């Protein structure tokens, strides 16, 4: 997910997206532990998306 896409989301959509990404990360970690994950780099990509969303949320909190 690109930063431009994240910035255009509303606060509620950001919170929903963050929850979805955390759930996806959990599922990826579970599949990795059981040996069913084909692309381990997917975990890193989801972690970076979570960090991007958290950065935008924090920036909006500081601006307000």
Contacts 24+ apart (CB under 8 A), 54-60: 54/18, 56/3, 56/6, 56/7, 56/9, 56/14, 57/11, 57/14, 57/15, 57/18, 60/11
* pLDDT tens column, 2-32: 899 999 999 999 999 999 999 999 999 999 9
Categorize the per-residue pLDDT at 47 as very low, low, confident or very high, splitting at 50, 70 and 90: very high
> Can you give the residue range of the structural domain that contains 53?
3-63
The pLDDT score that the predictor gives to residue 1 is 79
What is the CATH classification number for the domain harbouring 39? 1.10.287.310
Here the tokens at position 5 are 């896409």
Q: How many folded domains does the chain comprise?
A: 1
The pLDDT score that the predictor gives to residue 11 is 95
Mean pLDDT, range 48-61, rounded to an integer: 96
The pLDDT score that the predictor gives to residue 64 is 81
């Amino acid at each position: 997910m690109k930063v431009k896409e994240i910035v255009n989301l509303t606060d509620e959509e950001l919170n929903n997206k963050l929850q979805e990404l955390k759930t996806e990360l959990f599922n990826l970690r579970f599949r990795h532990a059981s040996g069913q994950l084909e692309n381990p780099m997917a975990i890193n990509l989801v972690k970076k998306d979570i960090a991007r969303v958290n950065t935008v949320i924090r920036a909006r909190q500081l601006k307000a």
